[in-house]
Amino acid sequence: MHRRAHRALLAATLATMAAAASADSIKIGFNVPLTGFAAADGTSALKGAELAVEQVNARGGVGGKPLELVVYDDQASPKEAAPLAVKMITQDEVVAGISGSYSGSTRAAATIFQENATPYISAYAIHPDITRAGEYVFRTSFMGEVQGRAGAKLIGETLGKKRVVMITLNNDFGQSLAAGFKEKAAAFGIEVIGEYDYGIKDREFGPIVSKVKADAPDAIYASGYFFTAGPLVSQLRAAGITAPVIGQEGYDGQKFIEIAGPAAEGVLITTSLDRDSTDPVARDFMAGFEKKAGYPADMVGASAHTAVLVMASALQSAGHTDKAALRQAIAATQVDAATGHISFNALGEVKKDVQVQVVRDGAWHRHSVISDAALLAPPEK
Amino acid sequence: MLALDLLIQGLVQGAIYALVAVGLTLVYGLLRILHVAHAALFTLGGYLGVLVTNATGSFALALAVAMGVAGVAGIAVYRLAYRPLLGRSPLIALIASIGLFIASEEAFRIIFGAHGLSYVTPPLQAQIEIAPGISLSLARIAVVVLAVVLLSALGWLSLSTRTGVAWRASVSDPPIAQAFGIDIERVRHLNFFVGSALAGAAGVMVALLNNLVEPTMGAVPSYKALAIIVLGGLGNVRGTLVAALALGVVESFGTIYAGHLLDRDAIAFAFLILVLMLRPQGLLARS
């Protein structure tokens, strides 16, 4: 009897301590794919977000309270993300949420955050409908269309290439990039002489490579992630195709270079992390990320880091954790983050420059910056 | 010229499908189990190929190790997962197989990381011009050569050796084969070893073509190989080979000429449905 009472007392003490700890911290929900096909990006996103929380807490947290990430694995699946969003809001009582996940799961969670009037930031999911869930939902990364337009300017104007083949990943990411690219292609004098689609599971591009070789384009605009783009670029170069390859933030990371090897040299991407940035926040992030993760910083990690910093700064300026006030504070954000200066338009879409990076000597470097506000303007509604 | 190029690309892909699907059809023929976890051995082969090549610099050694280890792992899957379930409905073994496959993906992720692995210096990258205007990397040629050699060896084993006779007898009529004194357990072990070693070899070659192995690299083979063995007439090895090559070629042309409408998998399954409407028993099986 005595022992059992003792144990109950201990349990009660621990429970009280746990409750006290959580009452003293500001909880932010974070859904991220840690298992399944998107686990690689999820891992980087989590590292970036954790780094931001550590940096904020090392500076004394927000209003004297430490930030606490409430992390759930959503497997990049809408059917996982929706109940997790409910759980974060109702059981964990988070003040806000951040998505470190892909579009499908982010859209599902965004609707629930909106319904519960709880602020939600998409770190790098690109589907246009995410922010259309409502005024509580924001995005700190580029929409696919915006980046596609930047790609058209890069190829048609900066590089002066006119006959272009598009290789398009047939998911929301690739299709929205393609839509933005085609919208502005003619304006930059680009003629699309061929467009080929592939699926996210494809790693073997033999037939497309053969066709592109026959097309003999001036440049190739290819959407994809490092795990599709790495094999694609190496197979294009192996077939003797020398036309420049222009990708996007999905390529962004050291792993792309590792897979494509020498074939990666000269590949250009539109992204949001400038490796040669002299900005202290970006430099601090890149050094901190590599130390924490054991591999160089990537776009996904930088985007998650940015989203957490935006949230922390909004919490600071709101002064308390009232959700409506927090939403107002996020909408008024003016923050210098690892991915540039962040502010939002009326829809909650980010306004910032597009970074063009190039692979040189086995690493990403600055090629140029596209800061054409009219071209890069996200939709307002 | 483009048509010839696409045909060749299709045959390279078909050769890989053939290496994976033969093991699956062998297991189905012998045990009537849909062996989804076969794709886990394909992934295992891919990882071993990259790890051993990076560690020793010898691709040949890596291929041998990958095939041997995948073969033994195949036997282990049989003994630990399927043998205890043999008396039950094949659906139970199928569910066990799917569970094992999903668990294997996460195991690869936990052990080797979510970002996958690549060859530090990928071997066999030189280009060879096989016809005017058509050049192939040595790796692609090696895929076809390896498939021909391994599958010919399998053909010789099953047609011209006593073991092969016992094997085929066990497939066509297990009770009679047993009555003739064939050790059916030995045949099953051999069957899993050979099928899994072929899948391991396919994994190594895919890793070479893509220079990437990932935890989820078995996802496509796991269901596409099932489509191929159905297409070939379940349990029919020759049909499986024909179906694998046909599917590779159909996908190759389909990617270019129907890629806007259907993705690669949709093309494959549309082809499967079409064939089954015309020949419900599969391409080569007798009705």
- Pairing type for strands B127-131 and A26-32 reads unpaired
Contact yes or no for B215 and A260 at CB 8 A:
no
* C-alpha distance from A247 to closest chain B C-alpha (Å): 18
Dist CA A294 CA A288 (whole Å): 10
Neighbour tally for A12: CB within 10 Å: 10
* C-alpha distance from B276 to closest chain A C-alpha (Å): 25
Provide the pLDDT confidence category of residue A9 given band limits of 50, 70 and 90: low
Report the 3 state secondary structure along chain B: CHHHHHHHHHHHHHHHHHHHHHHHHHHHHHHCCCCCCHHHHHHHHHHHHHHHHHHHCCHHHHHHHHHHHHHHHHHHHHHHHHHHHCCCCHHHHHHHHHHHHHHHHHHHHHHHCCCCECCCCCCCCCEEEEECCEEEEHHHHHHHHHHHHHHHHHHHHHHHCHHHHHHHHHHHCHHHHHHCCCCHHHHHHHHHHHHHHHHHHHHHHHHHHHCCECCCCCHHHHHHHHHHHHHCCCCCHHHHHHHHHHHHHHHHHHHHHCCCCCCHHHHHHHHHHHHHHHCCCCCCCCC
Task: Say which CATH superfamily domain A144-271+355-370 falls into.
Answer: Response regulator (3.40.50.2300)
Asked if A69 and A50 touch (Cβ cutoff 8 Å), the reply is yes
Asked if B160 and B167 touch (Cβ cutoff 8 Å), the reply is no
Provide the pLDDT confidence category of residue A381 given band limits of 50, 70 and 90: confident
Asked if A135 and A348 touch (Cβ cutoff 8 Å), the reply is yes
The token pair at B185 is: 């357990």
Contact yes or no for A259 and B253 at CB 8 A:
no
Q: Is the pLDDT of residue A11 over 80?
A: no
Dist CA B59 CA A41 (whole Å): 30
Q: Is the pLDDT of residue A16 over 50?
A: no
* C-alpha distance from B162 to closest chain A C-alpha (Å): 39
Question: What are the boundaries of each domain within chain A?
Answer: 2-142+278-348, 144-271+355-370
Question: What are the boundaries of each domain within chain B?
Answer: 33-122+138-217, 218-287
Name the more confident of A154 and B278: A154
Beta bridge partners of A277: none
* C-alpha distance from B196 to closest chain A C-alpha (Å): 22
Residue A11 burial (C-beta neighbours within 10 Å; 0-12, 13-18, 19+): exposed
Percent of chain A with pLDDT over 90: 82
Mean pLDDT of B126-155: 89
CB-closest option in B2, B212, B214 to A210: B2
Dist CA B27 CA B192 (whole Å): 7
For residue A276, the model assigns a pLDDT of: 94
Asked if A113 and A133 touch (Cβ cutoff 8 Å), the reply is yes
CA atoms within 13 A on the CB side of B147: 27
CB of B112 within 8 Å of a chain A CB? The answer is no
Say which CATH architecture domain A2-142+278-348 belongs to.
Answer: 3-Layer(aba) Sandwich (3.40)
Contacts of A130 (CB under 8 A, 6+ apart): A103, A106, A107, A110, A122, A137, A139
Provide the pLDDT confidence category of residue A18 given band limits of 50, 70 and 90: very low
For residue B67, the model assigns a pLDDT of: 97
Contacts of B118 in chain A (CB under 8 A): 230, 255, 258-259, 261
**Residue of chain B minimizing CA distance to A75:** B106
Asked if A67 and A51 touch (Cβ cutoff 8 Å), the reply is no
Look at A358-367, B83-92, B129-138 and tell me which has the smallest mean pLDDT: B129-138
Asked if A227 and A40 touch (Cβ cutoff 8 Å), the reply is yes
CB of B135 within 8 Å of a chain A CB? The answer is yes
Neighbour tally for B133: CB within 10 Å: 12
Q: Is the pLDDT of residue A6 over 80?
A: no
Contacts of A305 (CB under 8 A, 6+ apart): A48, A49, A51, A52, A285, A289, A337, A338
Using CB atoms and an 8 Å cut-off, which of residues 32-51 of chain A contact chain B?
A: 35-37, 39-40, 42-43
Contact yes or no for A201 and B219 at CB 8 A:
yes
Contacts of A195 in chain B (CB under 8 A): 260
Contact yes or no for B251 and A259 at CB 8 A:
no
CB-closest option in B109, B219, B265 to A39: B109
Choose among B244, B210, B48: nearest CA to B137: B210
Dist CA B199 CA B45 (whole Å): 7
Name the more confident of A171 and A180: A180
Helix (H, G, I), strand (E, B) or coil at A239: coil
Q: Is the pLDDT of residue A15 over 70?
A: no
Contacts of B220 in chain A (CB under 8 A): 201
Provide the pLDDT confidence category of residue B173 given band limits of 50, 70 and 90: confident
Q: Is the pLDDT of residue A238 over 90?
A: no
Q: Is the pLDDT of residue A349 over 70?
A: yes
The token pair at A356 is: 């063009």
For residue A92, the model assigns a pLDDT of: 95
Name the more confident of A37 and A256: A256
Q: To which H or E segment does residue A68 belong?
A: strand A67-73
Q: Is the pLDDT of residue A192 over 50?
A: yes
Q: Residue A194 — φ and ψ, nearest 5°?
A: -175, 145
The token pair at A179 is: 């839509």
**Residue of chain B minimizing CA distance to A295:** B115
Q: How far is CA A98 from the centre of its chain?
A: 11
Q: How far is CA B34 from CA A55, B92, B98, B232, B235, in A?
A: 51, 10, 9, 14, 10
Dist CA B40 CA B191 (whole Å): 17
Choose among A237, A235, A164, A248: nearest CA to A202: A235
Q: How far is CA A366 from CA A36, A181, A251, A355, A369, in A?
A: 32, 21, 15, 7, 8
For residue B276, the model assigns a pLDDT of: 87
**Residue of chain B minimizing CA distance to A257:** B118
CB-closest option in B109, B206, B211 to A261: B211
Using CB atoms and an 8 Å cut-off, which of residues 161-180 of chain A contact chain B?
A: 170
The token pair at A82 is: 């929706």
Look at A105-109, A182-186, A299-303, B270-274 and tell me which has the smallest mean pLDDT: B270-274
Dist CA A307 CA A320 (whole Å): 19
Dist CA B195 CA B199 (whole Å): 6
Q: Residue A217 — φ and ψ, nearest 5°?
A: -80, 165
Backbone φ/ψ region at B32: left (φ over 0), alpha (ψ -120 to 50), beta: left
The token pair at B222 is: 């796991």
The structure tokens 């807490």 sit at A57
Asked if A328 and A317 touch (Cβ cutoff 8 Å), the reply is no
Dist CA B74 CA A57 (whole Å): 50
* C-alpha distance from A199 to closest chain B C-alpha (Å): 6
Q: Residue A210 — φ and ψ, nearest 5°?
A: -60, -40
Provide the pLDDT confidence category of residue A20 given band limits of 50, 70 and 90: very low
Instruction: Supply the pTM of this predicted model.
Output: 0.87
pLDDT digits (tens, 9 = 90+) for A132-150: 999 999 999 998 899 999 9
